[in-house]
Structure 1
Amino acid sequence: MSIDASTESRTRATWHQFCDALKEAGDLLIEPGVPQDEQTQADGLRYLSRMARAALEWYVEFNDPAFPVLYRPAHETIKLGADNPDNLYQKAVIDGRYEYRLRGTRGTVDYISMATSRGSYAENFTQVETGFLDGNTLTVEADGTFEIIISQTQQAGNWLTVSEDSESLLIRQTFRHRDQERPAEITIERLDRHATPEALELMTAIAHFEKATAFYRNTTRMFADWSQKISQQPNTLPLWDQAFCQMVGGDPNILYYHGHFKLHNEEAMVITLPSIPACQTWNIQVDNYWMESLDYRYHWVSLNQAQASVNDNGSVTLILSATDPGCANWLSTAGHSEGTLCFRWVGAEVSVNPQVTVLPVGDIEKLEALETPSI
């Protein structure tokens, strides 16, 4: 069936708007306050392209709540909002008016959480939680399998709640040692529909592209603003507003810190944790200016509770520098002179305020706390 002139015009305009959003985002690279060094600018170009892929995957490829698919919204080559190197992220679009079933095998991954939410970065910059379940309360069979019903109506067994306006499901699997643990294997299906998907309709495709365009504009803008805010407190690592973190999709079990580093080649940032409160785990990661985790495939840019050495007095000393100073708990800047940091505490009821000092790399060996580490 041929389309009319009005629909033809809207179709073309939809594509033009998406392309215009890509073009306009280039201005983020030269905004006041954005570092103009080659590394930050190179990262920025790649980041804008990665966000374009994310927009298309999230809202064009995997955007049918009648036939949801668990996909990876952030991974080694799509990064946003201080993505956690210890995490395997999985996401599915849902509709709170429907019911779904998750089937899975628990595996051995240390921490797993599942959250449904309403709102999105494509709409109103928020992702408000409508249901939450984690591995501490998940009932698993003797053979390691589990089922979870996602619905508004309470269910026997594992139940993940939604509201009528819920739009998405996000699963976080957090490793202590990624190379030693098995992730949970999970599938999703809508319970009250078993037909095959129908052919894509033009109005649906247009609506999806419009959301992809809005997501791209909103998300690149939002994280650029976050980074500007973070960089106003150089070489610090403060606790962020936790209500705000939850509003934009943070895990309710996690305390979030966001910080900044700016170092010369011969300088190191020393981050001291005076003590470690009872918690499931903690981790720190190094990000670039655009709030992408640095490339954890090739560089040591994150540490967690299971990996870090602890001083005899119960404190932990972390060292961030361009080159390995030859001590425990080193984090690499991976060639970056400036960037951001994210610290997460999972399941901690007491916050810990990291103490941050910048020293010449040659002075690190003088730190008394580094002389008697224990594992």
Structure 2
Amino acid sequence: MSSWDERIAAFGTAAELLPLLADPADPQAAAEAERLFWMTLASGWYTAFADADFPDFVPAVSTHLHCVGTNPDFIYGTATIDGSGSYVLRGERGDGLFLLMDITAGSLGVMDKPGRSLGLLDFDTLQLDGQGRFSLLLSAARPADWTGDWRQLDPSARSLTLRQASYDWGHGREARIAIERIDQAHQPRRRSAEEIAERLSALAAYPKRLSGMALGFIAGQRAKDLWNRLEHDDWAGQGGVQGQHYYQGLFRLEPGKALLLETDLPEQVRYWNVQLSDLLWNSVDWMNRQSSLNGGQARIDRDGRFRAVIALDDPGVPNWLDPGGNSKGAVMLRWTEASSGPQPSLRLVDLADLRRELPADTPTISQELRDSQLRARRRGVQWRRRW
């Protein structure tokens, strides 16, 4: 068998994951699973040829590569590094809600495996000039002549992951960051045939690995019987943001019913959101649907509580969460840097009684207004730098 045939066969082993589906015999679910396999292959290309000597922050997830519960409010970037090296990051912080960088001992990259967090860097802790510019050195020791910011680099470091958050999509200045290795000469090399073959083989096997993570996560939620209820998780060592409360579970809608999500808000919270995914853990299309809401988009009721309605059809309320035609899926809510982590609740209500379940002053959103809001949402997503 040729190397090409072997790689095609390796990609094909992703089909072994189909038994993880809630209903493997469902042709719609099988088609969407195959789409996931191709999506993860495309996502893997961004990291398959990553080079720790010439790192670059690449967007392995985005609006189009929206697997493993991609957060709609974040612009992601990941770069491969060598913990024994020295790296300078230069750029502009931008004026988004925050810009965080997780230094980890591993990642979801094709040539890597997940590893623990070695430290979370908030760019607001750096020295920023009047235009928000910074210079940050990551190295084992601080050079005597270095005048910018410095952070010690753990020798086990393998990856840097950026998360740039925004409540008001497409408005304001996005961050701009360049990274370079400075402890060795700038000498790009041509990859050998052997290295190319090794990386292509890893890429061919990647869809089974990443899709397996996604389908396995949802299968685990089903095994816990988390239908229409939420559990707490901090996602420590699994790619989550340090100090963040995650509430996650599954939703299941019934004919004539809607799902009402209710929660108190922390007295202080830097960022929060709620979002929907399908049963393959793909985030529901947030460009064209209101499938997520954040602390800047959501309407808070007069009693200080947040209420949202998950329903297949538009119920005409401000905080509608559109599941994208999925009667079953996943829901996740995050509190970041919060003074507390209030537990949200989910309960089924009759659509006919929905207004009686909500505060009397809940506005009615007309179809014309919803259309205008969705078009503005779509523009905002496209105005953000996604790749």
Q: Calculate the TM-score normalised by the size of structure 1.
A: 0.88
* Distance apart, 1:264 and its partner CA: 3.2
Q: How does 1:68-107 map to 2 (within 5 A)?
A: 68-107=55-94
**Which residue is 2:377 aligned to?**
none
**Which residue is 1:41 aligned to?**
30
* Identity value in percent: 25
Q: 1:276 to 1:295 in 2, by over 3 A?
A: same
**Which residue is 2:344 aligned to?**
354
**Which residue is 1:248 aligned to?**
238
Q: 1:125 to 1:97 in 2, by over 3 A?
A: closer
Output the amino acid matched with 1:50: M
Deviations 1:310-350 (A, max 9, x none): 11111111111111111121110111111111211111142
CA distance in 1, matches of 2:25, 2:247: 25
In the alignment, does 2:226 pair up with 1:233?
yes
Q: How does 1:329-368 map to 2 (within 5 A)?
A: 329-368=319-358
**Which residue is 1:293 aligned to?**
283
Moved more, 30-39 or 220-229: 30-39
**Which residue is 2:40 aligned to?**
51
Q: 1:334 to 1:223 in 2, by over 3 A?
A: same
* Distance apart, 1:53 and its partner CA: 1.1
Match 1:163 to one of 142, 154, 160: 154
In the alignment, does 2:125 pair up with 1:137?
yes
Deviations 1:240-265 (A, max 9, x none): 2x2xx121121103212221111135
Output the amino acid matched with 1:183: E
Deviations 1:153-186 (A, max 9, x none): 2476433443222111110001111122321011
**Which residue is 1:326 aligned to?**
316
CA distance in 1, matches of 2:165, 2:36: 24
Q: 1:99 to 1:279 in 2, by over 3 A?
A: same
Deviations 1:278-310 (A, max 9, x none): 110100111111111111111111101111111
* Distance apart, 1:238 and its partner CA: 1.6
**Which residue is 1:223 aligned to?**
214
Q: 1:370 to 1:23 in 2, by over 3 A?
A: farther
* Distance apart, 1:111 and its partner CA: 1.3
Name structure 2 gaps, 5 residues minimum. Answer: 364-387
**Which residue is 2:138 aligned to?**
150
* Distance apart, 1:80 and its partner CA: 2.4
**Which residue is 1:3 aligned to?**
none
CA contact (8 A) 2:271 2:335 kept: yes
CA contact (8 A) 1:131 1:161 kept: no
Deviations 1:46-105 (A, max 9, x none): 111010112222113xx1111111111100111222110001001111111111111111
**Which residue is 1:6 aligned to?**
none
Deviations 1:207-249 (A, max 9, x none): 3234334543322222211101113311112212x2xx12112
CA RMSD of aligned residues (A): 2.2
CA distance in 1, matches of 2:74, 2:179: 19
CA distance in 2, matches of 1:360, 1:318: 15
CA contact (8 A) 2:44 2:60 kept: no
* Distance apart, 1:268 and its partner CA: 1.2
**Which residue is 1:267 aligned to?**
257
CA contact (8 A) 2:266 2:341 kept: no
CA contact (8 A) 1:320 1:332 kept: yes
Output the amino acid matched with 2:46: E
Moved more, 19-28 or 117-126: 117-126
**Which residue is 1:109 aligned to?**
96
Q: 1:332 to 1:372 in 2, by over 3 A?
A: closer
**Which residue is 2:380 aligned to?**
none
CA distance in 2, matches of 1:335, 1:368: 23
CA contact (8 A) 1:116 1:161 kept: no
**Which residue is 1:29 aligned to?**
18
* Distance apart, 1:39 and its partner CA: 4.8
Q: Calculate the TM-score normalised by the size of structure 2.
A: 0.85
CA distance in 1, matches of 2:347, 2:307: 11
SS at match of 1:280: strand
CA contact (8 A) 1:274 1:316 kept: yes
Output the amino acid matched with 1:192: D
Output the amino acid matched with 1:239: H
CA distance in 2, matches of 1:372, 1:31: 40
Name structure 1 gaps, 5 residues minimum. Answer: 1-8
Across the two proteins, how many residue pairs are aligned to each other? 357
SS at match of 1:23: helix
